[in-house]
Every structure is written in structure tokens, then in C-alpha cells.
Amino acid sequence: MLTAREIRQSFIDSFLEKGHTFVPSAPIVPHGDETLLFTNAGMNQFKDIFVGLTEPQWPRAVNSQKCLRVSGKHNDLEEVGKDTYHHTFFEMLGNWSFGDYFKAEAIEWAWELFTKVWGIPAEKLWASVFAGDEKDGLPKDEEAAQLWTKVTPIPPERVLGFGKKDNFWEMGDTGPCGPCSEIHIDLGPEACDMKGVPGHTCAVNGDCARYIELWNLVFIQYNRQPGGKLVPLSAHGVDTGAGLERIVAVLQSKRSNYDTDLFMPIIDRTSELSGHKYTAQLGNRTDNAFRVIADHIRTLVFAITDGATPSNDGRGYVIRRILRRASRFGRELDMHEPFLYRLIPAVLDVLGEAFPEIKDRAEHISTVVEAEEASFGRTLDRGLEIFRGAADRAAAAGEKTIDGDDAFQLYDTYGFPLDLTQLMAQERGLAVDTDRFAQLMDEQRERARAAKKSNALLANLTDSELPTTDDQPKYDTDRCESTLVGWIDPEGFKKEGRVPTDTEVGLILDKTCFYAEAGGQVGDCGVVAGDRSEFVVETTMRIANCVVHRGKVASGSFSAGQAVTATVSKDRNAIKKNHTATHLLQWALQEVLGKSVSQQGSYVGPDYLRFDFTYPKAPTKDELANAQSLVRKKIASDLPVTWTVMAKEEAQKLGAMALFGEKYGDEVRVVAVGADGAGAINEAFSREFCGGTHVDQLGSIGGFKIIKEESISAGVRRITAMTGAALTAHLEQASDVVDQLTALLQIPADKLPERVTQLMDDNKKLAKELKTASKTAGPDTMAEARGLLDDGEKIGGASIIVGRLASTSIERAREAVDMLKKKAGSAAIVLGFEADGKVVLLAGMTDDLVKQGLKAGDVIREIAPIVGGGGGGRPQMAQAGGKDPAKIDDALGKGREIIKTVLGDS
């Protein structure tokens, strides 16, 4: 039996023999493509080639691409675990043609690999083709239908036509697309998982597991524009995708993808940790949990490896949702403590050879997963209190639906996925107002879009027309002569007429010294000047090989073909200093903290630099001081900074560091610090792949100071630092503050820390004294509570203490509950009081009564609506607030009634 590793390699080898070039998988987190949350298909990294933005480096390519489908059109999340073949993370085996071969070869070679190389019985295979779409004005793909029976022995009756939903592939709302032809396998009647369902018939593209799609051959012929219009591409391409997991299941004769060697090691490890056995049954909650966990941990490993971190929006929220789903399914296997991080070694064993990057970042992945899973319990507890309040309010109002505002608060504030809120609501016989939730989500997205208008200028751009800009001068000069080639305005790319003066545009020059935003360095600003005209450049960006100078005409007019002078602002020098300092900081951190430190992101602007890096804990003050000292010593040494362009493989052999997840070409620019000339690059103490601008000598950076160090997510730290003139201004401001404090306190500057510490200690002492005084002032809460105990009744040895207190503090009332529990030994307590016009209710139960089913949280949830409020808590202690003090006695009476009912004296 072939292993998954052997199957993956045989696919690649088959196409290498047919003149294809192996191209490594792109990161699962797309870099430079804001239209995608995650890489969801093999062709994502080739998008610019298909739309004509860049020239292909090879006419034919092959690879196994890491893919994640959890959002948008391609969302398999809710199906995972329920069947044998849906996944969030999967590998897409693919071969591509960029204007080379087309449909005939793609069909013939796919058939050859399936039937001759892998020996899949031809009689089990079916093909589908695009049947056309009236709305898009597209006819049936007759060419593909005829080729199937011409270049393969498949009979015409096993070539079926389907509509756009099944046989027209699109990467997203915009981008390259085209008709597709799929190869399906008939696994036989015994594979049907819908036997006995009325009206069900097994069929290709049906709803059971008998016919499974194995390979999708996409014929890239169109580009879908933002308005929905399909525009034919100048050059046709082929993009095929075959899910490795499904193919392995077929070739290993397994009924389920999860039964293959891609998943079973993970499932076996889960079984060891949980003590439960996997029986490979569908419709079984335990087995379903095994499948979900195995799928989701693979997703987490690859997404976090490639730069995603859990958060409450965008990619981060998707990762958080997946992790929390997996953690929740762990409870089906009686795993209530963090366990997902303990499955990571099993994933590395299965996939680490094909994707070594997951082994390189194993420690970081484990840190992020463990920390996030541990925090889930705390988030769950806080969110559950909010949820109970929302559910209680709905019940008190006689409603069967939880308000969408509450569901959105759970999502936005506590990171609760909507499906988790819906699940909890279903358990209480309630629904969730998803329409209102969706409305609030849309409003949030709209606010985000309004705050991020940068892409509005590009909305109607038909990319293939953009010219290539020579931006080599950016490394040598801040000023250069050039020619205005054209511009981009809201209508698209123009190269005739005059540049609009009343709106933002993007000027395109044949040559520029401006740096386009990339690699964390901000785009340059400055001026493009013509004869009696001036264009103010606010920022600079890159689209494929074209540099776009975004801004507005300040005076005069511009037209295509005009000679202009491009001048970068003086900010460029400050940016250079900060960028080189960022390289020094990474080197210093690796010297102090170890080589496991890896850049996770950066910001390089004129005012400050920001460096994000992987590290499992907060560096100590001494460690940060050591790193800062190392940077300063290198600056004082005034060593040279040089750069050279070389083959990527050669640079890697020299130890040059690459930004993780960044895609590089065959040749790279390497910035070396400390090497005397390009030929001595191996002598440099810092070598990095970098296309940014840098100082020539370290001494010109001036000073360097770490301003702040913080955590931005589990396992990822952030340092903010300053250099040059910005640092000087910062230090002068700080000096002014010190001068003011020394004058105010009339002490020398070196005595300030001691004096401030003393003042803080004095303040704490006074606050404590005030707190003690407040306890002795006014009504004696403890005396009132003891009086309620003396007057209370007993049921079976348990004291029933229910009553109203004079106005007090919540803290003092809680102390009273604790005191009553100790004095009574066995007690059921419900207290209420008014504070600042609001109601506070407290319930407390001793452990013996909790065991009898009397829980403080249950009592509070029952009585809180009476005073117009809600609350909850633990079985031993719970609290609620309310708006109607006039109903306190009614709530207390209800509390007494509940206690008596539970204790059997109603």
C-alpha cells in the first residue's frame, strides 16, 4: 500500500517528467493579497500571472499547496467530522499551464495518472463538464466534453454536464476563473451514507458519499471584475486541483479520509490522551469529536506556522473559532484541560517532512495553542455569565429568541463564535436573532471599510495594462528625472489626456526613486514636479511590477508623456535609520534570547520602528537592556551596510535570514551589516533578505532606545524603539518632565524614583484607612446579618437566612454571607439591598445544600428578573443587579419560596 508521502511525491514526479517545474507551496496566510483571508486553492500564488500582471517564470508548474477553506464561498467548517471527506485544512495537488498547454493535455494526463500510474479502475471514473450559464452568457463547454471521449476511453454516458455551482470555478468574488471539468469516482452502493432516506438517489454531484470528486481541472479563461463582469483573458491557462486526502483514501482502500495515514496517528494520540476509542462510525458524537479535533489541529499548526494568530477579527478570529471548536469537541471526550498542544508532535510526524517549516516553528505553535486554549476556559466562564443574563431577559419577557445585540457582544467582546452562542441557546430551547447579529457585523465591516479607503482607487483597475516601473534609483538617490507614463483614477488606468485635479490618483512613472510600501517599510512620500506644476505624493505602493505614487495635484497640470522630477521627502533618512536599526535589533535579540527568535512582522516609519518576534515569555529587563546595549555598540562601531543581489539558494547557504511566509523569487537582495564590500558578505554579523532602504554606515543611525515591550498575542512579543531625531525629541520631552517634577517636589533628579515610590505607598496606606473607616461608618452590616440569622427558621438543620440589609457595599455584603455560612454551618442565604438607586441581590449556599441541588446561581437567575435585572455565579455564591428597588421584598420572598421547595418544606 502506498503511503501518503509516496502518493504526494509520485504526483509531483509524474509532472516533472512532463516538463513542469516544482514550485513550493505558498503560505496559507496570503501576503500582499487582501482579497483573501487564507490561501484556498493552489492557484492563489499564480493569480498575478493569470491576470497578466506578471510574466510566468515557467510555462508549466506542479506542487502540493497548503489550503484552508473556512470562509466565503469555500467554507467546509460546518461539515467537518460529519462525513468522511470534508476538511478545513487540506493539500491540493496541482499542475498548471501558463499560456502553454490547455484542455486536451490536462484531461489526457489526469486520466493517465489515475488509471496507468495509480491503477484506479477506469470503469469507476466519471467526468463532468460545464453546462453553461445564461446569466453570465456562457455556453456549454463542448470542447471539453468532446475531448473526454477523444483522448480517453471513457464512454459518453459517463461525461455529464452541470451548471455554474458545480462546474465553474472562481477563487472569490473577483479574480481569475473559468469552466472546469471534474473527475469523480464511484465507490459503490455500499459507500452511500443516505440509505433509506426517502427520495434519495446516488448520483455524481449528489448528496451522499458514493460518488466523490477527486480532481478538478480548471480552464482559466476569464477574469471576474469587481462589478461581476467576466472579461476574457489574453492567454488561457490550466489550473488543476486534486485533494491529496481523498486520493490517499482511494489508493489505501479506506472508506474515510480520516482512516488514512494522514489522520490516524493524530486520532491515535487523541485516543491515548482521552482514554476513548475511535470506532470510525458516522453519526457517533464521540467519533465525530475525534474527526473534528484531528482536522482542526492540522489547520492550527499550518495557519499559526504561516503567521496567523488568534484574535477577535479577520484571520485571527477564524483561527480562534477553529481552536475553540476543537477545544469544545474535546469535552465530548472528557478532556477539560488544554490538550490540543499535545497533539502537535503527531502532526509534525505526519507532515513535517513535506513541510519542514512546521518543524522549525514547533515551539511557537505549541506556545500559541496552549495559551489560547487555556484562556478559553476563562473566556467561556465570563461569556457564560453574559449569556445567562441574555437568556434570562428573553425568558422573563416571554421571548424565545436571544437578542442579536447580546450575541454580538459575546462575539465582539468575549470572542464567542456565533455557532457557540446558538448551541447554548438551543440547549435552553431558544433561538438567536441572527438577522440583527448580521446587521451589526455588516455595520462593523462598513466602519472598517470606511477607515480603510486605500483600495477604493483600485476598484476598477483592469490590471493587465500596467507597465513595469524601473525603481532601482531608490537605493542610490532621493531625486531623479523621469517621464509620466500614465495614472490610475477611480475609473481605471489611463495613459492619454490630463491627470484629474479634483481627486486622488496614482501617478505611474517610467522610472522612480520612491520606495513602494513593502516588508514593513512605509511607502515614500514627496513631490513629483513638472513645468510649473506639482503633485504631492502621500504614499507609494506596488502592484506587481508597477510602482504607484498616490496623491493629488497641488498646482498646475500633468499629462501623459510629460517630463517630471521625482523628489522623496526628508523622511527618507529617518526611515533608513529605523530600518537598519530593525536589522540590528533582530540580531541582538537572537544573541540575547536565542536563535528561536523569529521576525513575525515589523513597521518601519520615520518616527519609530516596531518589531514583532516569536518568544514564549516576556523578556526580562536585563535581557532587553542587554539587547539595547548590543545595538548601541554596533552603532558606535560605525560598520558599513552593504547589499548585493544573488541566487536565493546561495543566500540561504550563507545564512541570510528571510521574513517568514514571504514569497521570494530565484534571485534575492541581501542586506549585510558589518561586511566590507559585497564580496565579503560572509563576514557580516547580520545578513537578511531585504528590499528596503538602509544607511551606508551604522554610525549615522545616532542613538537607539527601546521605548516599549509588550505581548500582542500568545507567543508573539512586540518592541517599539526610536532612533535619530525622533529619539532626540522624545528624550528632550522626557527631560522636561523630569525638570518639572524636580521643581515641584524640590528634590534632585536622582531622588525622583525613591520619592515617587514613597508617595505611592502613602496613597495605598490612606486608601486602606479609608476603606476601614467606611466599614465602621453607618449601619453595622454584620450586626444586621447576625440578626437575620437569629430570626431565621430552620429546615432539617439548615438555617434559612433571607432578608433586606440597609445600604452597604457589595464587598461588605459578601463578607456578611461568608460570616453567616461559618456561623450557621449549614445555611441557605439570600440578601438584598439598595445602593445608589440600584438593586443588589446576593445568594450563598453551603456545600451540603449544593449537593442537595440548591445552588446560589439558580436562585439568583430565578429572582433577578423580578427587580428588572439579571445575574449568575457559582453554586456557592452568586450575585445579580436590578433596576427596581421597590421589588426587593418580592424577590426575597421568591428566594425563600425556592429554598423551601428544594429543601422539601413547601
Average pLDDT over residues 772-778: 56
Q: What is the per-residue pLDDT across 445-483, written as a single tens digit (0 to 9) for each? A: 776 655 444 455 665 565 456 888 999 999 999 999 999
E runs forming strands in 99-210: 125-130, 159-162, 168-170, 175-186
Rounded to whole angstroms, the Cα distance separating 472 from 476 reads 8
Confidence band for 329, pLDDT divided at 50, 70 and 90: confident
Q: What is the per-residue pLDDT across 436-453, written as a single tens digit (0 to 9) for each? A: 999 888 887 776 655 444
Burial of 606 from C-beta contacts in 10 A (0-12 / 13-18 / 19+): buried
What confidence score (pLDDT) does residue 177 get? 87
What confidence score (pLDDT) does residue 453 get? 47
Closest CA to 325 of 291, 282, 365: 291
Rounded to whole angstroms, the Cα distance separating 275 from 281 reads 17
Say what the alpha-carbon torsion angle 175, 180, 183, 189 is, to the nearest 10 degrees: 90
**680 pLDDT higher than 80:** no
Q: Which strand (E) or helix (H) includes residue 535? A: strand 533-543
Rounded to whole angstroms, the Cα distance separating 777 from 792 reads 26
> What's the N-to-C CA distance of the chain in angstroms?
71
Average pLDDT over residues 630-647: 93
Closest CA to 878 of 392, 329, 159, 321: 392
Average pLDDT over residues 789-793: 90
What the block records as the C-alpha cell of 665 is: 523569487
What confidence score (pLDDT) does residue 33 get? 63
Q: What is the per-residue pLDDT across 370-389, written as a single tens digit (0 to 9) for each? A: 988 887 766 666 677 788 88
Residues 60, 64, 65, 71: is their CA dihedral positive or negative? positive
Q: What is the per-residue pLDDT across 527-556, written as a single tens digit (0 to 9) for each? A: 999 989 999 999 999 987 899 999 999 999
Rounded to whole angstroms, the Cα distance separating 292 from 289 reads 5
Number of neighbours of residue 169 by Cβ within 10 angstroms: 22
Residues 6+ apart with CB under 8 A from 82: 282, 288
What confidence score (pLDDT) does residue 397 get? 78
Rounded to whole angstroms, the Cα distance separating 126 from 116 reads 16
Percent of the chain at pLDDT > 70 equals 93
Q: Output helix, strand, coil percentages for the chain, rounded to the nearest 5.
A: 45, 25, 30
Predicted TM-score of the model (pTM): 0.66
The count of residues in the chain is 906
**704 pLDDT higher than 60:** yes
Rounded to whole angstroms, the Cα distance separating 335 from 360 reads 28
Closest CA to 234 of 99, 389, 381, 82: 99
Biggest alpha carbon distance in the chain?
Answer: 100
Lowest mean pLDDT among 106-110, 117-121, 777-781, 845-849: 777-781
**297 pLDDT higher than 80:** yes
Q: What are the start-end ranges of the H helices in 701-855?
A: 724-745, 752-776, 781-791, 810-824, 847-851
